[in-house]
Structure 1
């Protein structure tokens, strides 16, 4: 009997002291590569409705109730979940910082817990067009005796399963987007571009994008006023957004030569330094630029790196098609398609 009592005392002592040896928080670093462009992967993390479809932390309870707040009237982008399963509990995940296609930072609040967990995700695109997501998860300090449960519920396995689900999901989305002709940020495509006729004005500027865009604005304004002047028999149709055809880059003189204007759909009159410019047809490398004009060179560099990884030789000239109004759109939301000819 004394031996049994001694054994129980030792066992209780071990159970009481063992949490000292167990981690008091989880600090997990996980890296995962997706065979998809960075814009598509980023969207899955930033859009919490999408996020909720592949994360595995609440998946074991099909009755989990989720509510989302991400409208313009809301002060935050968040998801609240509620579950009767003790292993899932209830809580709230909030996006407290982000940079488009670069990173998303979350804070996680579990009901009944005072402190917050954090999850930070960074995105990098390889030269081959694949995206690497780097996740860093840091939990709050785990209460002493709860460390037994937490030890066997280490979130790393759920992260791995979540990312595997996401990998399958983005492949399906990418195939669907390609069939619909949608281009994602960070995606590279080899396309056949038909000969394009532009009604444009020749300009020269410094390499600085601010100087380029001021000249583009001036060209577009001239063309707009000339064609829309109804008092002088102007035409009435939508000019669309600017086309920019870069033809020469002189780094020694810090000088770029380009033509900026609109697509010539019909035989429009040439006025005030306007001229017809032909962009040759053929195979082009195409990608989508999103964000400030100051980041445009980074997009061109990624195109060059991708071409080198695929042993594709690119020409010097570039055609850029704006997809929204540079004067009316927030710089973070500016979008344009960039085409660079492929030399065979």
Structure 2
């Protein structure tokens, strides 16, 4: 009997003391590489409706009910879920902070728990066009006796399963986007452009984007006013997207020369400083710039690095097609296509 009692005491002591050596919180780092541009991978993490299709943390309960934030009413994006399954529980996943195509910080609040877990994801665009997502998960302090349960529920497996699901989603979506001709931020394509005729005004400015855009705005304003005058107060045709054709970059003199305008409209006489400019046809390396104009050179630099990795020789000229108005669009949402001519070998 004494031996049995001693055995029970030992067992109880082990049960009480073992949590001391078990992790008091999860602090995990994961890296995953995706064969896709950073814009597409980022969107899968940022769009919580898409996120909920591949994450594995709530999949254990097929009856889980999810509620998504309303962009018109809620300050932050979130998905809240409700489950009677103990392994899923109920909680709320919120995007706490983000920088487009650079990082997303989430907080995770489980019902009945005072503190929150955090998940931070950084996105790194590689020279070969692939994207590395770097995840860091940090849980709240795990209550003493809950550490037994947590030891067998390490989130690492769920993360690995989630990333495997995401990898399949990315492949399907990338294939679909390519078939539809959609270009994603961070993607590079070699395209064949025909000869493009522009109605443009020649400008010179310093290399700083603020100076470039001041000159671009002045050119577009001159063209717009001239066309309005010709149409006696109104325009009955679409001017289309603004074009900027850079023909010279001189770093020593801190100067760039470019033509800013629109695609040439037939039978439209040239006015004031306007010229007919022809952008040569041929093969171009194409990418998408998203965000402030001050970051534009970073996009160009990545294109140059990518070209070197593919042994492509690029010209110094550039053609840029702006897809929204810099005067009326938030700087983080500015979008433009950048084309750089590929030199023939």
TM-score (norm. length: structure 1): 0.98
Unaligned runs of 5+ in 1: none
Give 2:196's aligned residue. Answer: 196
1:282-307 CA-to-partner distances (Å, cap 9, x unmatched) read: 11000000000000000001101111
Give 2:103's aligned residue. Answer: 103
Q: Is the 8 A contact 2:60 2:87 kept in 1?
A: no
1:257-294 CA-to-partner distances (Å, cap 9, x unmatched) read: 00000011323211111100000111100000000000
The answer to whether residue 180 in structure 2 is matched with residue 180 in structure 1 is: yes
* 3-state secondary structure, aligned to 1:343: coil
Shift of 1:218: 0.4
The answer to whether residue 304 in structure 2 is matched with residue 298 in structure 1 is: no
Q: Distance in 1 between matches of 2:36 and 2:274?
A: 41
Give 2:333's aligned residue. Answer: 333
Cα separation, partners in 2 of 1:7 and 1:330, compared to 1, 3 Å: same
Q: Is the 8 A contact 2:287 2:338 kept in 1?
A: yes
**Once structures 1 and 2 are overlaid, which stretch shifts more, 221-230 or 189-198?**
221-230
* 3-state secondary structure, aligned to 2:87: coil
1:108-127 CA-to-partner distances (Å, cap 9, x unmatched) read: 00000000000000001000
Give 2:54's aligned residue. Answer: 54
Kindly report which structure 2 residues correspond to 1:162-241, keeping only aligned pairs within 5 A, or say none. Answer: 162-230=162-230, 236-241=236-241
Kindly report which structure 2 residues correspond to 1:242-321, keeping only aligned pairs within 5 A, or say none. Answer: 242-321=242-321
Q: Which runs of 4+ in 1 moved over 3 A?
A: 230-235
Give 1:121's aligned residue. Answer: 121
Q: Is the 8 A contact 1:228 1:236 kept in 2?
A: no
* 3-state secondary structure, aligned to 2:307: helix
Q: Distance in 1 between matches of 2:266 and 2:165?
A: 50
Kindly report which structure 2 residues correspond to 1:58-137, keeping only aligned pairs within 5 A, or say none. Answer: 58-137=58-137
Q: Distance in 2 between matches of 1:76 and 1:285?
A: 37
Q: Is the 8 A contact 1:207 1:254 kept in 2?
A: yes
* 3-state secondary structure, aligned to 1:105: strand
Shift of 1:233: 8.2
* 3-state secondary structure, aligned to 2:140: coil
**Once structures 1 and 2 are overlaid, which stretch shifts more, 214-223 or 267-276?**
267-276
Shift of 1:240: 2.1
* 3-state secondary structure, aligned to 1:315: coil
Give 2:37's aligned residue. Answer: 37
* 3-state secondary structure, aligned to 2:342: strand
Q: Distance in 1 between matches of 2:148 and 2:124?
A: 36
Q: Distance in 1 between matches of 2:246 and 2:116?
A: 50
* 3-state secondary structure, aligned to 1:9: helix
Q: Is the 8 A contact 1:82 1:90 kept in 2?
A: yes
Q: Is the 8 A contact 2:27 2:138 kept in 1?
A: yes
Q: Is the 8 A contact 1:229 1:235 kept in 2?
A: no
Cα separation, partners in 2 of 1:263 and 1:147, compared to 1, 3 Å: same
TM-score (norm. length: structure 2): 0.98
Shift of 1:72: 2.3
* 3-state secondary structure, aligned to 1:314: coil
Q: Is the 8 A contact 1:54 1:166 kept in 2?
A: yes
